[in-house]
Amino acid sequence: MAQQEFDCSDIDQYLGKVIDSSPIREPLGNNDIRRWVQAMHYPNLAHFDPAYAAASRWGKLVAPQSFPIVMDDSHGTSSSCMGRIAESHLLFGGDEFWHYGPRVFGGDVISNERIPYDYAVKQTGFGPTCFQRGDNYYRNQNGELIAKQRSTAIRYRAAAGGDTVNTAEFDEPEWTDAELAQLEERKFAWVQMLHDLGHGERWWDDVKVGDHLPERVFGPHTVASFATEWRSYLFTVWGTLDRRQIDLEALGFTKEMAGHENDPVMERINPAITDGAYYGPSRGHLFPKYARKIGMPRAYGYGASMGAWVTDYLAGWAGEWGMVVHSTANYRGPALSGDVTIQTAEVVDKMIDDEGRHLIQVKHLMQNQKGVKMCLGLAEIELPKKPG
């Protein structure tokens, strides 16, 4: 198809301008935080156990750094999906995060200022493809900037999705009982690392260039685990947000993939068809029939969850006295049902920045059991310096 038929020019009118958000109606509850870390496979006691949290540096339950994206519809991708591209589909292509220090607690009210940033059209396996970026500024009720997220959406011709699906990947891998038992041992090794560090410091002084972070393993993913992820995003629950008005067909989504996801009017009439799990563009995650229409061979996980896995992996290793200050996550492939996710990272630099923070830089990688790359990027993590 000719390049000129893939028209992205409608995006131009939105760049640099604040777009509507969908603010939460009530303050956060601790159970919102617990639901999130459980869905993200992140068993850090600081985020769900009251006795452990009371003994932490915060003295109470705290949300993980990955949490702000829970607070608005579309988990950060709305600012990267403005403007009409006729007869198109969308996949989440990546995230860049900056974290500024304030943490999120029960009782907070988080707002999101969303601003479309830029876009570029490139040739990919889908043909002409729009890589669109948008910024999200997450602030608490005191106006403090918690984090900035620059999300990337991949928008492409709807017909190209079904044309490029890999039929050889339609069936899930089968795992023996022995293989699953071995996986459980590998999964718990990272959890044990969290327990071993506890409330202690991960000292900057002790980290060396070339060090490898312990691997983190979870899965196999299932439709049930993907549904659990989806339900931990507050916008998927009826009535949680003052939803903005949105017309997905006007953005170019095909009629069968648009529906009434996040529609505030339909939510009061027939809410079952508005939450995205069963109807609308998000249902491809849970239903292979629709996954294959957008180019995925079977049920697959959420890009925003992959971004959270990156942040949680690095923040969990850093401990409660450390903090992820910046990260990039380029999504190369999905978490497919039946597959396992394996995260690794290598320390590639140590530095003291202009603010006097002691940072390490890591190159992180996420792949499945076959070595297929799912996500990669760089991140900077602040760690405490030993006294003296």
Beta strands in 192-336 (DSSP E): 216-218, 323-331
pTM above 0.85, yes or no: yes
Question: What pLDDT score does 107 carry?
Answer: 97
Give the model's pLDDT for residue 158.
87
Residue 247 CB burial class (10 angstroms; 0-12, 13-18, ≥19): exposed
Residue 2 has pLDDT above 60, yes or no: no
More confident residue, 325 or 157: 325
Residues 3 and 99: beta-carbon distance below 8 Å = no
Instruction: State how far the Cα of 102 lies from the Cα of 146, in Å rounded to an integer.
Output: 5
Rounded-to-integer distance, Cα 170 and Cα 296, Å: 9
The count of other CB atoms within 10 Å of the CB of residue 149 is 25
Q: What is the pLDDT of residue 169?
A: 92
pLDDT value, residue 1: 36
Q: Are strands 323-331 and 358-368 parallel, antiparallel or unpaired?
A: unpaired
Report the mean per-residue pLDDT for the chain: 94
Binned at pLDDT 50, 70 and 90, residue 3 comes out as very low
Delineate the domains of the chain, giving CATH numbers in brackets. Answer: 9-174+198-382 (3.10.129.10)
Nearest CA among 18, 19, 22 for reference residue 234 = 22
The sheet that has 373-382: what strands, in order across it? 111-124, 127-139, 145-157, 88-99, 323-331, 373-382, 358-368, 341-352, 216-218
pLDDT digits (tens, 9 = 90+) for 266-308: 999 999 999 888 888 888 899 999 999 888 999 999 999 999 9
List, in order, residues 6 or more apart from 56 with CB less than 8 Å away. 46, 62, 199, 320
Band (pLDDT 50/70/90 cuts) for residue 4 is very low
Q: What is the mean pLDDT of residues 150-154?
A: 95
Q: How far apart are CA 228 and CA 305, in angstroms?
A: 11
Tell me the pLDDT tens digit for each residue of 181-225: 999 999 999 999 999 999 999 999 999 999 999 999 999 999 999
